Structure 1
Amino acid sequence: PELMNVGIGQDCTILEYYQTVAEVVGFRGRFVHNLAKPVGMQRKLVDVTRAAAWGWTAQTSIRQGIAQAYDYYLQQQEHQA
Protein backbone atom coordinates (compact mmCIF):
# COMPACT_ATOMS: atom_id res chain seq x y z
CA PRO A 1 0.00 0.00 0.00
CA GLU A 2 1.08 3.55 -0.68
CA LEU A 3 1.77 5.91 2.20
CA MET A 4 -0.26 9.08 2.55
CA ASN A 5 0.51 12.16 4.64
CA VAL A 6 -2.44 13.63 6.51
CA GLY A 7 -2.39 17.31 7.37
CA ILE A 8 -4.13 20.61 6.81
CA GLY A 9 -1.92 21.65 3.91
CA GLN A 10 -0.60 24.83 5.51
CA ASP A 11 2.28 25.53 7.84
CA CYS A 12 2.07 27.23 11.22
CA THR A 13 4.88 28.71 13.26
CA ILE A 14 5.81 27.20 16.60
CA LEU A 15 4.51 30.39 18.24
CA GLU A 16 1.16 29.96 16.47
CA TYR A 17 0.91 26.42 17.84
CA TYR A 18 1.81 27.64 21.34
CA GLN A 19 -0.73 30.45 21.17
CA THR A 20 -3.47 28.13 19.95
CA VAL A 21 -2.83 25.62 22.73
CA ALA A 22 -2.69 28.45 25.30
CA GLU A 23 -6.04 29.78 24.09
CA VAL A 24 -7.65 26.32 24.23
CA VAL A 25 -6.38 25.44 27.71
CA GLY A 26 -6.75 28.93 29.19
CA PHE A 27 -3.03 29.59 29.72
CA ARG A 28 -2.43 33.28 30.44
CA GLY A 29 1.36 33.29 30.83
CA ARG A 30 3.96 34.22 28.28
CA PHE A 31 6.33 32.20 26.16
CA VAL A 32 10.10 32.65 26.27
CA HIS A 33 12.04 31.24 23.33
CA ASN A 34 15.69 30.33 23.78
CA LEU A 35 17.00 31.08 20.31
CA ALA A 36 20.55 30.16 21.37
CA LYS A 37 19.54 26.49 21.19
CA PRO A 38 18.94 24.56 17.98
CA VAL A 39 15.33 24.60 16.81
CA GLY A 40 15.37 20.96 15.76
CA MET A 41 12.31 21.05 13.52
CA GLN A 42 13.00 22.46 10.09
CA ARG A 43 9.48 22.13 8.78
CA LYS A 44 6.07 21.11 10.13
CA LEU A 45 4.23 21.06 6.82
CA VAL A 46 3.47 17.68 5.27
CA ASP A 47 2.85 17.20 1.56
CA VAL A 48 -0.87 16.46 1.17
CA THR A 49 -0.76 16.17 -2.63
CA ARG A 50 -1.59 12.44 -2.66
CA ALA A 51 -4.46 12.88 -0.19
CA ALA A 52 -5.87 15.71 -2.31
CA ALA A 53 -5.56 13.57 -5.46
CA TRP A 54 -7.68 10.94 -3.73
CA GLY A 55 -10.27 13.59 -2.88
CA TRP A 56 -9.39 13.93 0.81
CA THR A 57 -9.13 17.29 2.55
CA ALA A 58 -8.86 18.12 6.23
CA GLN A 59 -12.22 18.87 7.83
CA THR A 60 -10.79 19.91 11.20
CA SER A 61 -8.70 23.03 11.78
CA ILE A 62 -5.63 22.98 13.98
CA ARG A 63 -7.54 24.85 16.69
CA GLN A 64 -10.50 22.45 16.52
CA GLY A 65 -8.18 19.44 16.63
CA ILE A 66 -6.28 20.75 19.65
CA ALA A 67 -9.57 21.59 21.41
CA GLN A 68 -10.98 18.12 20.69
CA ALA A 69 -7.80 16.43 21.92
CA TYR A 70 -7.79 18.57 25.09
CA ASP A 71 -11.48 17.84 25.76
CA TYR A 72 -10.80 14.13 25.33
CA TYR A 73 -7.86 14.34 27.74
CA LEU A 74 -10.01 16.10 30.35
CA GLN A 75 -12.75 13.48 30.00
CA GLN A 76 -10.22 10.69 30.48
CA GLN A 77 -8.90 12.40 33.61
CA GLU A 78 -12.44 12.62 35.02
CA HIS A 79 -13.04 8.90 34.37
CA GLN A 80 -9.81 7.99 36.15
CA ALA A 81 -10.56 10.12 39.22
Structure 2
Amino acid sequence: MRTDLAKLVIAVILDLADFTIGRMGIIIPGFEMGFDAVLGVAAVALWGWPGLFAFWELADPTGQADAFVPTMTLIALSQMGKGRKKRPQLD
Protein backbone atom coordinates (compact mmCIF):
# COMPACT_ATOMS: atom_id res chain seq x y z
CA MET A 1 0.00 0.00 0.00
CA ARG A 2 2.83 2.38 0.73
CA THR A 3 4.28 1.91 -2.75
CA ASP A 4 0.91 2.77 -4.26
CA LEU A 5 0.74 5.89 -2.13
CA ALA A 6 4.29 6.87 -3.08
CA LYS A 7 3.46 6.39 -6.77
CA LEU A 8 0.35 8.53 -6.34
CA VAL A 9 2.39 11.32 -4.76
CA ILE A 10 4.92 11.12 -7.61
CA ALA A 11 2.06 11.22 -10.13
CA VAL A 12 0.54 14.33 -8.55
CA ILE A 13 3.95 16.06 -8.53
CA LEU A 14 4.51 15.19 -12.20
CA ASP A 15 1.03 16.44 -13.13
CA LEU A 16 1.70 19.72 -11.31
CA ALA A 17 4.98 19.99 -13.19
CA ASP A 18 3.13 19.38 -16.45
CA PHE A 19 0.65 22.11 -15.53
CA THR A 20 3.37 24.65 -14.67
CA ILE A 21 6.68 23.77 -16.33
CA GLY A 22 4.93 22.31 -19.36
CA ARG A 23 3.73 25.79 -20.26
CA MET A 24 7.27 26.63 -21.38
CA GLY A 25 6.26 25.31 -24.81
CA ILE A 26 4.91 28.79 -25.51
CA ILE A 27 8.37 30.30 -24.98
CA ILE A 28 10.62 27.45 -26.13
CA PRO A 29 9.26 25.66 -29.22
CA GLY A 30 9.30 21.88 -28.84
CA PHE A 31 9.78 21.94 -25.07
CA GLU A 32 6.24 20.75 -24.39
CA MET A 33 6.56 17.77 -26.73
CA GLY A 34 9.84 16.72 -25.11
CA PHE A 35 8.44 17.18 -21.62
CA ASP A 36 5.37 15.07 -22.46
CA ALA A 37 7.63 12.35 -23.87
CA VAL A 38 9.63 12.31 -20.62
CA LEU A 39 6.38 12.10 -18.62
CA GLY A 40 5.25 9.20 -20.80
CA VAL A 41 8.48 7.32 -20.13
CA ALA A 42 8.09 8.02 -16.40
CA ALA A 43 4.52 6.69 -16.49
CA VAL A 44 5.63 3.47 -18.17
CA ALA A 45 8.43 3.13 -15.62
CA LEU A 46 5.95 3.53 -12.75
CA TRP A 47 3.01 1.43 -13.98
CA GLY A 48 4.14 -0.61 -16.96
CA TRP A 49 1.72 -1.02 -19.88
CA PRO A 50 -1.05 1.18 -18.41
CA GLY A 51 1.49 4.03 -18.39
CA LEU A 52 1.32 4.12 -22.19
CA PHE A 53 -1.89 6.13 -21.83
CA ALA A 54 0.27 9.10 -20.80
CA PHE A 55 1.55 9.37 -24.37
CA TRP A 56 -1.82 10.74 -25.50
CA GLU A 57 -0.52 14.13 -24.35
CA LEU A 58 1.79 14.16 -27.37
CA ALA A 59 -1.31 14.67 -29.53
CA ASP A 60 -1.53 18.29 -28.32
CA PRO A 61 1.70 20.01 -29.43
CA THR A 62 0.74 23.28 -27.72
CA GLY A 63 0.33 21.64 -24.32
CA GLN A 64 -2.57 23.90 -23.46
CA ALA A 65 -5.33 21.31 -23.38
CA ASP A 66 -3.46 18.34 -21.93
CA ALA A 67 -2.14 20.32 -18.96
CA PHE A 68 -5.65 20.43 -17.50
CA VAL A 69 -6.05 16.64 -17.55
CA PRO A 70 -4.10 15.01 -14.69
CA THR A 71 -3.19 11.93 -16.75
CA MET A 72 -0.53 10.57 -14.39
CA THR A 73 -2.82 10.92 -11.37
CA LEU A 74 -5.68 9.21 -13.19
CA ILE A 75 -3.42 6.30 -14.14
CA ALA A 76 -2.20 6.04 -10.54
CA LEU A 77 -5.74 6.01 -9.14
CA SER A 78 -6.87 3.41 -11.66
CA GLN A 79 -3.95 1.15 -10.76
CA MET A 80 -4.52 1.61 -7.04
CA GLY A 81 -8.14 0.56 -7.47
CA LYS A 82 -7.11 -2.44 -9.49
CA GLY A 83 -4.61 -3.52 -6.83
CA ARG A 84 -7.18 -3.15 -4.06
CA LYS A 85 -9.52 -5.63 -5.75
CA LYS A 86 -6.78 -8.27 -5.86
CA ARG A 87 -6.00 -8.12 -2.16
CA PRO A 88 -7.95 -10.41 0.16
CA GLN A 89 -10.53 -8.66 2.27
CA LEU A 90 -10.11 -8.75 6.01
CA ASP A 91 -13.37 -8.96 7.95
Note whether the superposition's TM-score is higher than 0.5.
no
TM-score, normalising length from structure 2? 0.31
By relative contact order (CA 8 Å, sep 6+), the higher-ranking structure is: 1
| TM-score for the superposition, normalised by structure 1 | 0.34
